[in-house]
């Protein structure tokens, strides 16, 4: 089990380029295989999750090349070009991989089995399998189809008009992928906007898709899908941890280049500005239909607590462990509500964030659907556990940069799930971190 050792030290200073967006990198592999012709992605993220998707798509017959670590070429042969795999599709710990592939496979006239790590086999799948069954797919799994492994036999789907019970980009994307193979239009209604990378990529490929007032309508394609040429923007969810570190470590100023600033992803940015953070967007531009910018963060004192609830929650669902750390250094209370989804991520993020930050002296109380942090509270170094959760591991590392003494993050290897370069980039910016 790997450890990440962290001590407070010099200010963080400099510029860095964040690895490619995990959500877009995953979706590119799936959608490019359905196009006609050569699709190419530069700046593609090579992580545990995206490599799981790549291997699964290759087993389904996708023709994929990687000329370089961060460049991927997919030779697409059309909507109906996939073939039945000769083995179980192993999704590692990636919820995105298993849920999006469930939608894709619901439209295929063959049988597939999806499974993954012990951690993934505990994550709920009923939110995906139930509507796919309504569309006509046969989906079997443990606990009535709510837990992996999932066995899927698809084909002959009907369109669906579905109201999502929670805002979920993964469920929405699964239904849109299935909708490509349905016999009529599909409509997905969101309770609040969740990340919309699938919609943007489908539109770029020529799919008839509209988004209005959180209602997404898709008509099955009647002509071949156009291939994709992408420069994948930097992942905002990864950038957030370096930005957060720069806000907390005295005397720091960091600029992160080419980060995606899709508004469905930047809820944390808006919250931090409201709390008084010193943040700035530079050189805003658009690439491949996705907005991006260089992001600057500088240390600031006097941040104040806030309340996060409602539509903000899905726009920052991956950043709540970091927010909890930042809230320990803000004046007053920070309250998170309407975030019960945190209970079913890579870990129960409410329980694990509370447990580990309390070891470091934080005043944090759990709620059924969130937590309350009281600041400002000095943190002290300790032995903490990542619980197999990459976001928690990085948040605890950031906490260690301002804690008295040494912090040791056990199980830090899980960081490779989304941001393998995180320890190295932190060190390049001046942090005292040692990964071993």
Q: Rounded to whole angstroms, how far apart are CA atoms 395 and 353?
A: 9
Q: Rounded to whole angstroms, how far apart are CA atoms 157 and 135?
A: 5
Displacement of CA 84 from its chain's centroid (Å): 28
How crowded is the C-beta side of 157, counted as CA atoms within 13 Å?
35
Pick from 161, 209, 169, 156: which is nearest to 189 by CA? 161
Q: Rounded to whole angstroms, how far apart are CA atoms 281 and 364?
A: 31
Cβ–Cβ under 8 Å, residues 295 and 53:
no
The active-site residue, picked from 21, 196, 294, 318, is 318
Q: 250: phi > 0 → left, psi -120 to 50 → alpha, else beta; which?
A: beta
318 is catalytic: yes
Structure tokens at 335: 């309250």
User: Which sign, positive or negative, has the C-alpha torsion 143, 173, 212, 135?
Assistant: negative
Taking each continuous run of H as one helix and of E as one strand, the counts in the chain are: 13, 24
Q: Rounded to whole angstroms, how far apart are CA atoms 22 and 242?
A: 16
Q: Locate tokens 């830090």: which residue?
A: 412
Per-residue CA distances from 232 to 43, 176, 190, 237, 287 (Å): 5, 21, 26, 14, 8
Structure tokens at 45: 């993220």
For 127-181, the DSSP string reads HHHHHHHHHT-EEEEHHHHTEEEEEEE--SBPP-EEE-SS--HHHHHHHHHHHTT
CB proximity list for 301: less than 8 A, separation 6 or greater: none
Cβ–Cβ under 8 Å, residues 139 and 102:
yes
Provide the annotated active-site residues: 318
């Amino acid at each position: 089990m790997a450890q990440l050792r962290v001590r407070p030290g010099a200010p963080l200073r400099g510029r860095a380029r964040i690895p490619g967006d995990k959500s877009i990198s995953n979706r590119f592999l799936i959608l490019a295989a359905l196009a006609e012709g050569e699709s190419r992605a530069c700046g593609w993220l090579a992580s545990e999750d995206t490599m799981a998707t790549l291997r699964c798509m290759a087993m389904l017959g996708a023709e994929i090349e990687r000329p370089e670590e961060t460049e991927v070429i997919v030779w697409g042969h059309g909507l109906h070009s996939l073939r039945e795999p000769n083995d179980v599709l192993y999704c590692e710990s990636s919820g995105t991989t298993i849920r999006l592939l469930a939608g894709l496979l619901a439209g295929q006239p063959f049988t597939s089995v999806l499974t993954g790590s012990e951690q993934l086999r505990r994550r709920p799948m009923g939110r995906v399998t139930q509507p796919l069954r309504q569309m006509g797919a046969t989906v079997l799994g443990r606990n009535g189809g709510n837990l992996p492994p999932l066995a899927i036999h698809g084909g002959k789907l009907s369109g669906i008009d579905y109201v999502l019970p929670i805002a979920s980009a993964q469920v929405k994307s699964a239904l849109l992928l299935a909708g490509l193979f349905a016999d009529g239009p599909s409509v997905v209604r969101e309770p609040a906007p969740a990340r919309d990378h699938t919609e943007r990529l489908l539109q770029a490929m020529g799919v008839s898709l509209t988004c209005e007032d959180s209602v997404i309508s898709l008509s099955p394609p009647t002509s071949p899908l156009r291939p994709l040429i992408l420069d994948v923007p930097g992942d905002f969810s990864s950038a957030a941890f370096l930005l957060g570190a720069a806000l907390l470590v005295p005397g720091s100023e960091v600029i992160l280049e080419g980060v995606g600033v899709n508004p469905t992803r930047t809820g944390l940015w808006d919250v931090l500005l409201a709390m008084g953070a010193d943040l700035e967007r530079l050189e805003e531009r658009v690439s491949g239909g996705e907005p991006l910018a260089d992001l600057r963060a500088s240390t600031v004192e006097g941040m104040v607590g806030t309340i996060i609830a409602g539509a903000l929650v899905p726009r920052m669902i991956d950043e709540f462990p970091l927010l909890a750390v930042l809230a320990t250094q803000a004046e007053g209370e920070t309250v998170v509500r309407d975030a019960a989804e945190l209970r079913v991520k890579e870990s129960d993020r409410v329980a694990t964030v509370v447990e580990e930050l309390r070891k470091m002296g934080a005043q944090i109380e759990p709620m059924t659907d969130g937590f309350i942090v009281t600041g400002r509270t000095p943190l002290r170094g300790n032995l903490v556990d990542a619980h197999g959760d990459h976001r928690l591991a990085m948040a605890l590392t950031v906490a260690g940069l301002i804690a008295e003494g040494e912090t040791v993050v056990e199980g830090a290897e899980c960081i490779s799930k989304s941001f393998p370069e995180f320890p190295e980039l932190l060190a390049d910016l001046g942090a005292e971190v040692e990964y071993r």
